[in-house]
């Protein structure tokens, strides 16, 4: 995805975009069922928090106001009941927790919402409150804040879905950074029917030339006056060579480590700290009659999936799609994912959704299943500190850019990385 914002910010230059797949956008994947659009991967973004950010969307021809989701944007299923608007002070008060735990949780939510005001923006070179990166979110909640384990478990679906692993695995810094936005009353969620794929479409529409699809970069090496790429055209048998003044390698580091020859200055071991989770998304399609309690619906204590989004009723259409997100934290779930065949996985997800909403199974006509291998970079304790202080984002004329360069798996991280890479390319080429 981050190649699209990078190319967009370099659209006044001669830019060639190579994309391995037959479509752009990576995990920003659109889905469709009988005319009903749904997000098959990345779904929502935060309403732009500054005038500059808002202008960025508008310049692309996008209207974030029209994309604002209806309240409540979040709901949580916990101990047999739905709690709408679960991250607001009012929602938190509905949680079945003891008075001491609730009091501490309310204070944490209030402090986090206030911290958002002073926090360094995405893309910053340093780590604000770096000490939080030393321990896990679970340690922070239970040892630093004295909250009981049941509060940690409340955040488990959120962490798995948004950060790729549970509260015991993700760094407190990453967990709190994400939760800050949820607890903040000024943050609003926005989503297009096909999810963040709409953003990719807008970025591509604004490029002078479309990407070259099915062009797989298989090697990158420095050249006398720039960079040489080896590329496989999916339709041809022989690879070909491309030379460029500079290259923005906007692929996950699990791929970059295989493409960069040692002459670039990088070695495969430089990338070892990058870890990833996998993801399964199941689109349950049919005459879905249920009403969702919120836009994003989190389900605590359910191991098959973490959350779901239900498409709104669309102009007289009686078909809808329940998009179920089933993150697969490493390493245990990844093993299972590789072993289990798709129909079994789809059946397990449908059965779990039917337990939550009895009768749903009878309404489902089709299940579309999507698997993302290296879906999200996992910010485990210490990773972000290492990333900011030790990992060089570029060497020579090769710039590495992707959401994982930010260390956080969100659409804003991919955009910020694309913008940064474009700026760096201009500096390198003295444009």
Q: Which residues bind ligand FAD (CB under 6 A)?
A: 1-2, 18-21, 26-28, 41-45, 196, 216-217, 250-252, 255, 279, 281, 372, 375-376, 402-403, 409-411, 414
Question: Between residues 2 and 171, which has the closer beta carbon with respect to ligand FAD?
Answer: 2
Residue 422 CB, nearest distance to ligand FAD (Å)?
13
Residue 386 CB, nearest distance to ligand FAD (Å)?
18
Residue 40 CB, nearest distance to ligand FAD (Å)?
8
Distance (Å, rounded) from C-alpha 79 to C-alpha 95?
9
Question: Between residues 47 and 279, which has the closer beta carbon with respect to ligand FAD?
Answer: 279
Question: Between residues 105 and 195, which has the closer beta carbon with respect to ligand FAD?
Answer: 195
Distance (Å, rounded) from C-alpha 218 to C-alpha 385?
30
Question: Between residues 169 and 363, which has the closer beta carbon with respect to ligand FAD?
Answer: 169
Question: Between residues 151 and 181, which has the closer beta carbon with respect to ligand FAD?
Answer: 181
Residue 21 CB, nearest distance to ligand FAD (Å)?
4
Question: Between residues 151 and 413, which has the closer beta carbon with respect to ligand FAD?
Answer: 413
The residue of the chain with the least Cβ separation from ligand FAD equals 26
Furthest-apart CA pair in the chain: how many Å? 68
- Closest by CA position to 271, among listed 254, 259, 248: 254
- Closest by CA position to 83, among listed 323, 326, 294: 294
> In the numeric block, which tokens belong to residue 298?
């989190």
Question: Between residues 142 and 233, which has the closer beta carbon with respect to ligand FAD?
Answer: 233
Residue 403 CB, nearest distance to ligand FAD (Å)?
3
Residue 27 CB, nearest distance to ligand FAD (Å)?
4
Distance (Å, rounded) from C-alpha 89 to C-alpha 103?
11
DSSP state of 40: S
Distance (Å, rounded) from C-alpha 398 to C-alpha 247?
5
Integer angstrom CA distances of residue 138 from 131, 148, 149, 156, 235: 15, 10, 8, 10, 49
Residue 429 sits at φ, ψ, to 5 deg, of -90, 5
DSSP state of 255: H
Residue 396 CB, nearest distance to ligand FAD (Å)?
19
Distance (Å, rounded) from C-alpha 104 to C-alpha 162?
24
Residue 86 CB, nearest distance to ligand FAD (Å)?
17
- The answer to whether 250 and 6 are in contact (CB under 8 A) is yes
Integer angstrom CA distances of residue 321 from 80, 283, 343, 350, 359: 23, 6, 18, 13, 15
> In the numeric block, which tokens belong to residue 318?
């009686």
Question: Between residues 367 and 410, which has the closer beta carbon with respect to ligand FAD?
Answer: 410
Residue 118 CB, nearest distance to ligand FAD (Å)?
22
Question: Between residues 106 and 207, which has the closer beta carbon with respect to ligand FAD?
Answer: 207
> In the numeric block, which tokens belong to residue 19?
């994309």
Residue 168 sits at φ, ψ, to 5 deg, of -80, -15
Distance (Å, rounded) from C-alpha 254 to C-alpha 251?
8
Q: Sheet holding 320-328: strands in order across?
A: 81-84, 74-78, 296-299, 307-310, 320-328, 276-286, 364-377
Residue 393 CB, nearest distance to ligand FAD (Å)?
13
Question: Between residues 150 and 270, which has the closer beta carbon with respect to ligand FAD?
Answer: 270
Residue 202 CB neighbour total at 10 angstroms:
17
- The answer to whether 242 and 229 are in contact (CB under 8 A) is yes
Question: Between residues 123 and 148, which has the closer beta carbon with respect to ligand FAD?
Answer: 123
By DSSP bridging, strand 296-299 and strand 398-400 are: unpaired
- The answer to whether 76 and 156 are in contact (CB under 8 A) is no
Residue 39 CB, nearest distance to ligand FAD (Å)?
7
SS3 131: helix
């Amino acid at each position: 995805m981050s190649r699209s914002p990078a190319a967009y910010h370099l659209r006044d230059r001669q830019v060639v975009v190579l994309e391995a797949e037959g479509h752009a956008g990576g995990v920003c994947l659109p889905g469709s069922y009988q005319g009903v659009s749904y997000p098959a991967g990345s779904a929502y973004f935060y309403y732009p928090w500054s005038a500059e950010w808002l202008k960025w969307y508008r310049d692309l021809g996008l209207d974030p106001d029209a994309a604002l989701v209806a309240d409540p944007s979040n709901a949580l299923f916990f101990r047999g009941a739905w709690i709408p608007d679960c991250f607001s002070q009012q929602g938190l008060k509905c949680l079945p927790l003891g008075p001491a735990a609730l009091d501490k949780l309310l204070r944490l939510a209030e402090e986090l919402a206030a911290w958002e005001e002073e926090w360094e923006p995405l893309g910053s070179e340093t780590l604000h409150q770096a000490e939080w990166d030393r321990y896990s979110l679970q340690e922070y909640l239970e040892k630093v804040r004295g909250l009981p384990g049941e509060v940690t478990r409340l955040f488990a679906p959120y962490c798995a879905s948004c950060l790729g692993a549970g509260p015991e695995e993700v760094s407190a810094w990453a967990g709190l950074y994400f939760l800050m936005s949820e607890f903040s009353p000024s943050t609003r969620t926005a989503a297009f029917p096909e999810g963040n794929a709409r953003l990719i479409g807008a970025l591509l529409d604004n490029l002078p030339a479309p990407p070259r699809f099915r062009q797989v970069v298989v090697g990158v090496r420095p050249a006398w006056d720039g960079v040489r790429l080896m590329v496989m055209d999916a339709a041809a048998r022989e690879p070909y060579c491309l030379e460029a003044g500079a290259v923005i390698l906007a692929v996950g580091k699990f791929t970059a480590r295989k493409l960069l020859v040692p002459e670039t200055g990088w070695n495969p071991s430089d990338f070892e700290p990058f870890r990833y989770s996998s993801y399964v998304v199941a689109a349950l399609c049919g005459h879905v009659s249920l009403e969702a309690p919120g836009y994003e619906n989190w389900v605590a204590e359910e191991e098959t999936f973490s959350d779901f989004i239900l498409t709104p009723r669309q102009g007289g259409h009686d078909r809808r799609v329940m998009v179920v997100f089933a993150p697969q934290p490493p390493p245990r779930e990844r093993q299972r994912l590789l072993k289990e065949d798709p129909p079994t996985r789809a059946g397990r997800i449908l059965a779990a959704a039917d337990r939550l909403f009895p009768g749903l199974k009878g309404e489902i006509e089709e299940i579309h299943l999507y698997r993302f291998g290296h879906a999200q970079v996992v910010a485990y304790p210490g990773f972000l500190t290492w990333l900011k202080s030790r990992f060089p984002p570029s060497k020579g004329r090769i710039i590495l850019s992707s959401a994982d360069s930010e260390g956080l798996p969100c659409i804003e991280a991919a955009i910020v990385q694309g913008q940064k890479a474009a700026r760096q390319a201009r500096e390198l080429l003295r444009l």
